[in-house]
Amino acid sequence: MSADNVKLGDDLNEAVTALLVDLPIKAASFIVTIYGDVIEPRGGIVWIGNLIETCKSVGITETLVRTAVSRLVAAGQLAGEREGRRSFYRLTDAAQAEFVEAASLFYGPQPAIRWQFVLINGPAPEEIMQGLEREGFARLNPRLAVGTHPAPPLPGRVVVFDAQLATENGALREFAEEAWNLPRFAEAYGEFTARFGAFSQKVGDCAALSAFDCLIARLLLVHQYRLIMLREPHLPKSALPDNWPGEEARRLFADLYLLLSKRADDYVGRHFVNEAGRLQEATPASRNRLEHLKSR
C-alpha cells in the first residue's frame, strides 16, 4: 500500500477538502486522534493499513505514518503485534487510561473545577514547569504554578496543594487575565468556529458526504478541538471574559460530531479491522459519547 505521492484531500468531498486548507497536521498527533476517537472505544487495537489509508486523505504519507507509529511505540503509547503478514498496533495500558481521561473532556460533561497549586522543589524546575503549562497550568513564579484540575504525574520533587475558592468576584477575572494567555485560546476557538462553522453551512445534513468523508471530517473536528482543549485552563465562567468563544466552539463540536457520527461509524464497522476481524460499528463506550454530547 504505497502512498509516496499523496495528494491533499484526494478522494474527499470539496467541503471536507476545504477543512484542510492552511491546516498543517503532524502525523503522530493525527494518529493519536484516530486512536482516541475511533480505536480506544473499540478495544484499542487496529491494523496499520487502516491508519495508512486514513492518514493518506489528509496528506500524510505511508512513510510518515510508519515513522510516527514507531515513535509512539518508543514513547510507550503503542505496542506492535503481528498476525501473519499484517501488523497491528494497540494502545498500551497506560495510554488507554490516558485516552479515557482525555476523552471525558471532549465527550463528557463540563469538567469539574478543582484548584491546585504545584510547588516545584529541587534543581532544574523549568522542564517541569513547561510540562505543567502544556497541561493548562499557569506559571506564577519559576517554582509555583496553579491550575483548575488535578496535576498530571510529575517527575522530581513537587508539592501539590488542593485549594478552595472562597470568593468569586472581579478579582478572579483579573487574576485569570494576568495568569493565563486567554487571548491565545480565544483566537484558537475563534479559528475553530470559523473553519467548522463554514463547513457546517456547506454540508447541511451531510447528505452529499460519503461515509469516508464523514469519518475524515469527524477526525479533523476532533483533532483541532483536541489541540485546544488539552491546553486551555478550563476556568470557571466567572473567571472568563464576557462572550467567551469556547462556549460556541463546544456547541459546534457537539452538533457536528453527532451529525457526522452515524455514517462515520458505519465506515469504521465496514473497513477497520483488528487481529480478530472487523471493529464494531458501535460499542457501549462509543454510544456513551454520543449520549453525553446530546445532553449538552
Question: Taking the domains of the chain in order of start, what are their residue ranges?
Answer: 1-108+181-295, 116-163
What grid cell was written down for 289? 459519547
Q: How confident is the model at residue 168 (pLDDT cuts 50, 70, 90)?
A: confident
Residues in the chain, how many?
296
Q: What percent of the chain has pLDDT over 70?
A: 97
pLDDT, residue 123, reads 81
The residues, ordered by sequence, that sit 6+ positions from 72 with a Cβ below 8 Å of its Cβ are 28, 31, 32, 78, 89
Q: Is 145 exposed, middle or buried (0-12, 13-18, 19+ CB in 10 A)?
A: buried
Q: Stretch 100-121: mean pLDDT, rounded? A: 88
Distances in whole angstroms, Cα of residue 59 to Cα of each of 19, 54, 147, 169: 12, 10, 36, 48
pLDDT, residue 252, reads 97
Distances in whole angstroms, Cα of residue 91 to Cα of each of 31, 99, 200, 257: 11, 9, 32, 23
Q: How confident is the model at residue 10 (pLDDT cuts 50, 70, 90)?
A: low
As beta bridge partners, residue 20 has: none
Q: Stretch 16-44: mean pLDDT, rounded? A: 96
Residue 249 near residue 225, CB atoms below 8 Å: yes
The residues, ordered by sequence, that sit 6+ positions from 100 with a Cβ below 8 Å of its Cβ are 40
For the chain, give the mean pLDDT: 92
Tell me if the pTM is above 0.85. Answer: yes
100 membership: H or E segment, kind and range: helix 93-107
Range 1-108+181-295: architecture per CATH? Orthogonal Bundle (1.10)
Residue type, 191: E
CA distance 122 to 147: 21
Backbone φ, ψ for residue 18 (5° rounding): -65, -25
Between 209 and 109, the higher pLDDT residue: 209
CA distance 211 to 264: 5
pLDDT, residue 110, reads 76
Backbone φ, ψ for residue 274 (5° rounding): -120, -170
Q: Which of 35, 33, 41, 75 is nearest to 58 (CA)?
A: 33
What grid cell was written down for 182? 486567554
Q: Stretch 195-207: mean pLDDT, rounded? A: 95
Residue type, 263: R
pLDDT, residue 225, reads 96
Does 181 score more than 60 pLDDT? yes
